[in-house]
Amino acid sequence: MAQPQSFKNHTRFDPPFHFFILPVLLLNLIFSIYETIHRWPSFPHMHLWWIVMSIVLFVMAGIFRGYALKNQDRLIRLEEQLGLIEALTVDQYVGLRFASDAEVAALAQRAVTENLTRKQIKQAIVTWRPDNQRI
């Protein structure tokens, strides 16, 4: 049986990301630097490009992880505001993303009771909230 969640044990690792992707990308960067140092006179542009691409891949992994965490944070905020998280469909969540804080709760309730589609929800929004975190 799992322990009850607390501050000490609430963090989670995603094994494919934390224990495979990041270590392999880090090894790739280290290896590209090693190869560039030890084979410098030959093909310098190719070796430098390999280092640049290794850095790009490493940064991309971090950015993509950040996008997933931002999405998770937005869902948590919505859940805290609404309390009807299980009743809404994914399509309805997507429709609600532009609703202002003042109208999101009432619009979500209406979406559940009237089974509104994404388009209908967007059409019902009076005060649009810009989605500047959208990717």
φ, ψ (nearest 5 deg) of residue 128: -80, 135
Interval 55-94: pLDDT, tens: 999 999 999 999 888 878 777 777 767 666 678 888 888 7
The answer to whether 116 and 91 are in contact (CB under 8 A) is: no
CA distances (Å), 25 to each of 4, 20, 30, 94, 101, in order?
Answer: 34, 9, 9, 33, 40
d(CA 51, CA 39): 13
Q: Which DSSP helix (H) or strand (E) runs through 41?
A: none
pTM greater than 0.85 (yes/no) = no
Assess whether pLDDT exceeds 70 at residue 21: yes
